[in-house]
Amino acid sequence: MQRRSKMFLAFLLSFLLSFIPFSGNVINAVTPVAVTPVSGLSFTQGVKKTVLDNGLTVLTKEVHTAPVVSVQVWYKVGSRNEGKGESGISHQLEHLMFKGTKERPVQFGRLFSALGSQFNAFTSYDETAYFGTVQRDKLQALLILEADRMKNALIGTEQLTSEKRVVISELQGYENSPSYRLNRAVMQAAFPNRAYGLSVGGTKADVEKFTVEQVRNYYQTYYSPDNATLVITGDFATEPVLKAVKESFGKLTKNQKSKINSQERAVSQKPKSSSPIVLKEPGSAALLHVVYPLPDIKHPDVPAIDVMDAILTGGRSSRLYQALVESGLASSVGGSAAELIEPGWYEIDATAAPGQKLEKIAQVLQTSLSKLQQQGVSVEELNRAKTLLQASFVLGNQDISSQASQLGYNQTVAGDYKYIERYLGAIAKVTPEDVQRVAKTYLVPAKQTIGFFEPTQPDGQAGTSSSGSGRTVENFSPGKPVDPAELAKYLPPATSYTVSNQQPLPQQLSLANGLRVLLLPDRSLPTINISGQIDAGTEFDGNQKAGLAILTAENLMNGTQTKNALTLAQTLEDRGASLEFSASREGVSIGGEGLSANLPILIQTLADVLQNANFPADQLELSRQRALTGLQVQLDDPSTLARRVFQQAIYPENHPFHSFSTETSLKNITRDDLLSFYRQHYRPDTTTLALVGDFDPVKVKDLLNQAFTKWQAEGKPPALNLPKVSLPKTSTRVNKVIPGKAEAVTYIGYNGISRKDPRFYAALVLNQILGGDTLSSRLGTEVRDRLGLTYGIYSGFAAGINPGPFLIEMQTAPTDAQKAIASTLALLKQLREQGITEAELNTAKRSIANSYPVELANPSEVASIILNNAILGLSPAEIREFPRRIQAVNMTQIQQVIKDLIQPENVVIVTAGPGDTASKEN
Mean pLDDT of the chain: 90
pLDDT of residue 218: 97
CA distance 605 to 572: 8
CA distance 66 to 861: 13
pLDDT exceeds 70 at position 309? yes
Reported confidence tier of residue 917, pLDDT bands at 50, 70, 90 = low
β-strands 744-751, 732-737 pairing: unpaired
CA distance 758 to 760: 6
Q: Which helix (H) or strand (E) holds 877?
A: none
pLDDT of residue 39: 52
pLDDT exceeds 60 at position 640? yes
pLDDT of residue 735: 94
Nearest CA-CA partner of 449 in 192, 306, 279, 277: 277
pLDDT exceeds 50 at position 316? yes
pLDDT exceeds 60 at position 270? no
* Residue ranges with strand state E in 222-276: 228-234
| Mean pLDDT along residues 592-596 | 96
- Local structure of residue 560 (DSSP, 8 states): B
pLDDT exceeds 90 at position 400? yes
Reported confidence tier of residue 256, pLDDT bands at 50, 70, 90 = confident
| Mean pLDDT along residues 764-778 | 93
| Mean pLDDT along residues 643-660 | 94
Whether the CB-CB separation of 686 and 589 falls below 8 Å is answered with: no
**Number of C-beta neighbours around residue 782 at 10 A:** 24
pLDDT of residue 261: 52
pLDDT of residue 268: 47
pLDDT of residue 499: 54
pLDDT of residue 894: 98
DSSP string for 703-771: HHHHHHTT----SPPP---PPP-PPPSS-EEEEEE-TT-S-EEEEEEEE---TTSTTHHHHHHHHHHHT
The pLDDT tens digits for 608-618 are 999 999 999 99
Whether the CB-CB separation of 626 and 23 falls below 8 Å is answered with: yes
**Number of C-beta neighbours around residue 798 at 10 A:** 18
Q: Which residues contact 52 (CB under 8 A, 6 or more apart)?
A: 58, 225, 245, 246, 249, 250
pLDDT of residue 496: 62
| Mean pLDDT along residues 156-178 | 93
pLDDT exceeds 50 at position 571? yes
Reported confidence tier of residue 41, pLDDT bands at 50, 70, 90 = confident
pLDDT of residue 721: 87
pLDDT exceeds 90 at position 34? no
The pLDDT tens digits for 786-796 are 888 998 999 99
Whether the CB-CB separation of 103 and 263 falls below 8 Å is answered with: no
pLDDT-wise least confident of 28-37, 403-412, 763-772, 878-887? 28-37
pLDDT exceeds 80 at position 336? yes
The pLDDT tens digits for 452-489 are 999 985 433 344 444 443 333 334 456 667 677 778 88
The pLDDT tens digits for 157-167 are 999 998 999 99
Whether the CB-CB separation of 138 and 83 falls below 8 Å is answered with: no
The better pLDDT of the pair 727, 536 is held by 536
pLDDT of residue 194: 92
CA distance 235 to 854: 12
The pLDDT tens digits for 353-384 are 999 999 999 999 999 999 999 999 999 999 99
pLDDT exceeds 90 at position 494? no
pLDDT exceeds 50 at position 6? no
pLDDT exceeds 90 at position 583? yes
For the chain, percent of residues with pLDDT exceeding 70: 90
